[in-house]
């Protein structure tokens, strides 16, 4: 009698609102436990995905049971380019905690996600904290930077993904879309279907409400001040604070620009204030969704910021996914999340691998860990900081004949 294969189980560490869990669930995995420490994340996850979530501080020792797959994205603000980098931030130790938990529990596979700044922070220390315990435990690993837009997510969101198999070599998910509108975006592919644009994603929403509750939860826009409205009216799609008349520019922007003139900075290299606004282009994927996006980006056509629901859509959360907490909490949950569609693409690829893996054969293997691939960029040029990390990875991990050494670009 043919027995139906059981669902493969998942433990989600640092689960946040549940974007990764949602994608893995849609791909056919069973999420058996999820862990986070941020209360709005706990309540949001519980409301939308299930009661199997617990509020635990994973920086402390804890007893955990394993599952077929462990997934997670340790909090990244300590080395995120979206905020101030703090080398002593306690959140940075959570990368090592994720790796040690996986190494101790020894699931069949793991998936790790983080911001692109993960690679170069602290001269590559986080890369070592992740890879050393896992390779020693016997995991064969791909470590790559990807743009979520190349997997159909309507935003340019560059992230680091690590996928590992215990004693077996996992595949890495294939790109599904061609993306334009960000430096190097087209390098992944130029022959696949185009990534949906902002307006492809948003045009089916009802009109945004100027006051709560809105037709859909979070689809409420903030009223602009008279000065903000003047700026919005003056900005065309793709334009930023630097394109505004000087009298409309933010005072911090003018101050920074004046300082650069005094320093002799060439005109083409003068930047603006980090808080400078930008009107998004309707025919391209969005810029990366962050917790502060409502204060930075304007709707492509309307004179207003994006709504929380629009940001959730660009992150590929369904409209019936309810975010719990104040507006700042909700934006933090959305901005920190793994887009469910990206997670689903990864999960679909991994599920095929896990289904093909013979568990008995795997148990008999001498688990030899190695770094199968390391793709930190598709660009033909790298920063000095990334060059250092590439050299570090080459020397520390890429020692086996089966792996070609990366070329360091001039």
Question: Rg of the chain over CA atoms, in angstroms?
Answer: 22
Dump pLDDT digits (tens) for 94-152: 999 999 999 999 999 999 999 999 999 989 999 999 999 999 999 999 999 999 999 99
pLDDT higher than 70, residue 403? no
Predicted TM-score (pTM) of this structure? 0.89
| 3-state SS assignment for residue 351 | helix
- Half-sphere exposure in the Cβ direction for 75 (13 Å, CA): 23
Among 29-43, 207-221, 345-359, name the most confident range: 29-43
pLDDT higher than 70, residue 246? yes
C-alpha 309/C-alpha 205 separation (Å) is 9
C-alpha 340/C-alpha 170 separation (Å) is 21
Domains of the chain: 9-195+338-396 (3.40.50.150), 198-336 (3.90.120)
Question: Whose CA is closest to 306, among 291, 317, 284?
Answer: 291
- Mean pLDDT is lowest, of 143-152, 245-254, 259-268, 342-351, for 259-268
Residue 335: predicted pLDDT: 95
Residue 360: predicted pLDDT: 47
pLDDT higher than 50, residue 270? no
Q: Which two three-digit tokens encode residue 212?
A: 């709560």
What is the mean pLDDT of the segment spanning 275-291?
90
Question: Whose CA is closest to 53, among 63, 44, 65?
Answer: 44
Band (pLDDT 50/70/90 cuts) for residue 258 is low
Residue 259: predicted pLDDT: 57
Question: Whose CA is closest to 327, among 294, 351, 301?
Answer: 294
- Mean pLDDT is lowest, of 7-21, 168-182, 190-204, 288-302, for 288-302
Dump pLDDT digits (tens) for 167-196: 999 999 999 999 999 887 888 888 999 999
Kindly list the catalytic residues.
Answer: 76
What is the mean pLDDT of the segment spanning 251-264?
59
What is the mean pLDDT of the segment spanning 285-306?
91
Average pLDDT across the chain, whole number: 87
Cis peptide before 213 (omega within 30 of 0): yes
Residue 77: predicted pLDDT: 52
C-alpha 390/C-alpha 408 separation (Å) is 8
Q: How far apart are the first and last CA of the chain?
A: 61
Residues 6+ apart with CB under 8 A from 284: 180, 181, 197, 198
C-alpha 58/C-alpha 17 separation (Å) is 16
Residue 2: predicted pLDDT: 46
pLDDT higher than 90, residue 254? no
Residue 83: predicted pLDDT: 46
pLDDT higher than 90, residue 345? yes
């Amino acid at each position: 009698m043919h027995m139906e294969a059981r669902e493969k189980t998942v433990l989600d560490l640092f689960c946040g609102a549940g974007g990764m869990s949602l994608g893995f669930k849609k791909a056919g995995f069973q999420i058996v436990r999820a862990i986070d420490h941020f209360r709005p994340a706990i309540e949001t996850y519980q409301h939308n995905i299930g009661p199997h979530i617990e509020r635990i501080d994973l920086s402390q020792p804890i007893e955990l049971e394993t599952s077929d797959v462990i997934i997670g994205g340790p909090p990244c603000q300590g080395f995120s380019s979206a905020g101030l980098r703090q080398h002593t931030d306690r959140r940075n130790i959570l990368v090592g905690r994720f790796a040690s938990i996986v190494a101790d529990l020894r699931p069949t596979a793991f998936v790790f996600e983080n911001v692109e700044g993960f690679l170069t922070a602290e001269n590559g220390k986080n890369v070592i904290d992740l890879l050393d315990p896992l390779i020693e435990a016997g995991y064969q690993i791909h470590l790559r930077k990807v743009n979520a837009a190349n997997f159909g997510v309507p935003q340019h969101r560059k992230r680091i993904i690590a996928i590992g198999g215990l004693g077996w070599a996992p595949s890495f998910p294939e790109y599904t879309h061609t993306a334009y509108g960000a430096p190097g975006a087209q390098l992944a592919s130029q022959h696949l279907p185009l990534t949906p644009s902002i307006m492809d994603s948003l045009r089916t929403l009802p009109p945004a409400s100027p006051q709560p509750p809105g037709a859909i939860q979070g689809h409420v826009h903030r009223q602009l001040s008279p000065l903000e409205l003047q700026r919005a009216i003056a900005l065309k799609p793709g334009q930023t604070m630097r394109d505004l008349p000087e009298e409309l520019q933010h005072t911090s922007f003018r101050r920074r620009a004046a300082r650069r003139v005094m320093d002799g900075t060439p005109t083409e290299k003068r930047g603006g204030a980090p808080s400078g606004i930008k009107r998004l282009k309707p025919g391209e994927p969005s810029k990366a969704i962050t917790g502060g996006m409502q204060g930075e980006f304007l709707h492509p056509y309307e004179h207003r910021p994006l709504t929380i629901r629009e940001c959730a859509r660009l992150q590929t959360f369904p409209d019936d996914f309810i975010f719990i907490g104040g507006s700042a909490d909700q934006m933090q949950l959305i901005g920190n999340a793994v887009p469910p569609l990206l997670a689903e693409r990864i999960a679909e690829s991994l599920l095929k691998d896990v289904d093909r893996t013979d568990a008995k054969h795997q148990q008999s293997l001498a688990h030899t860990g190695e770094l199968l691939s390391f793709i930190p960029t598709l660009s033909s040029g790298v920063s000095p900081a990334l060059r250092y990390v590439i050299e570090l990875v080459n020397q520390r991990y890429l020692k086996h004949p089966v792996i070609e050494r990366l070329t360091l670009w001039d």
